[in-house]
Structure 1
Amino acid sequence: MYNYYPWYPMQQSGGFSPYAANMGVRQQNGNGNGNGDGNGMLSMEQSYIENILRLNRGKRANVYMTFEGNPDWQSMVFRGIIDEAGRDHIVLRDPEAGRWYLLLMVYLDYVVFDEEINYQYPFE
């Protein structure tokens, strides 16, 4: 099985875990979900792809994805309008084709917009 995150040693081995850094934030907030505001959204002090995509809902985008090990379609471009974005997914609507795509972030390479994007850098 292909390991998508080979640079993260397993937590069981006592090595580094990307989730360990968030544990202090969760404990400080007291709400247990790692958010700064307690309403289910991530704090704007954190610049994550999902937050940037949420700021740009309704904009047309080209989403480039790579599916390693697939002999039929190793990479694809999905074109449409960003409807939603979550921690592990993007919902893209293609009005010309009448389709909606639920795309997994694990396959995401990059996103190209046809217009200026909304972006708020952390701590502004």
Structure 2
Amino acid sequence: MVQYYWNPNFQQPNFQQPNSQQPIPMPTQGTTPSGRPVLPIGETSYIENILRLNIGEPGIFHFSFTHTVGEALNVRNITGSVEEAGRDHVIVKEEATGHQFLFPMIYFDYAEFLGQVNYFPQNMQQRQI
């Protein structure tokens, strides 16, 4: 087991900030003819990226909150669809009421999509031994 603790004698490494004059290349994000988002090359299969690929797809989204007082209040299941997904949040629209919910991703447990899940293309290349 690794234990982490504060050490007042520990010196942080001195990282230099990039020159503000130099442009930082940012990947672009577009859409396909069907309107689905296209993620930049090199994106990996993080949950928020998978949710982004499934914007508008119907499903049940499960969230839990450990800090609530009542046990009945610590779980929220939304039947609806993802409207937007960011690095640390997701916006889910409830199908029955039209309400929109903004949930931090730390409370996201899992999603059950009612149809096929859109996922990144899996290109398995043969390895040379």
Which category describes the TM-score, using the shorter chain as reference length?
A: 0.5 to 0.7
8 Å contact from structure 1 (residues 47, 122) kept in 2: no
1:54 is aligned to: 52
1:118 aligns with 2:118: yes
Cα distance, 1:123 vs. partner? 6.2
Q: Distance in 1 between matches of 2:84 and 2:45?
A: 17
1:83 is aligned to: 83
TM-score normalized by the length of structure 1:
0.64
Residue ranges of structure 2 left out of the alignment (5+ in a row):
11-17, 30-38, 125-129
8 Å contact from structure 2 (residues 57, 81) kept in 1: yes
3-state secondary structure, aligned to 1:54:
helix
Q: Which runs of structure 1 show a deviation greater than 6 angstroms over 4 or more consecutive aligned residues?
A: 10-14
Query: Cα RMSD (Å) of the superposition?
Result: 3.4
Change (3 A) 1:123 1:80: same
Q: How do residues 12-51 of structure 1 correspond to structure 2 at under 5 angstroms? A: 31=24, 37=27, 39=28, 43-51=41-49
Number of equivalent positions:
100
Deviations 1:43-84 (A, max 9, x none): 444111111011101101211111002123111211211111
Please identify the structure whose Cα radius of gyration is greater: 2
Q: Percent identity?
A: 29
**Which structure dedicates a bigger proportion of its chain to helix?**
1
8 Å contact from structure 2 (residues 79, 95) kept in 1: no
Cα distance, 1:42 vs. partner? 5.5
8 Å contact from structure 1 (residues 45, 123) kept in 2: no
Change (3 A) 1:98 1:106: same
1:106 is aligned to: 106
Residue ranges of structure 1 left out of the alignment (5+ in a row):
1-6, 15-26
Cα distance, 1:92 vs. partner? 0.8
TM-score normalized by the length of structure 2:
0.62
8 Å contact from structure 1 (residues 54, 84) kept in 2: yes
1:67 is aligned to: 65
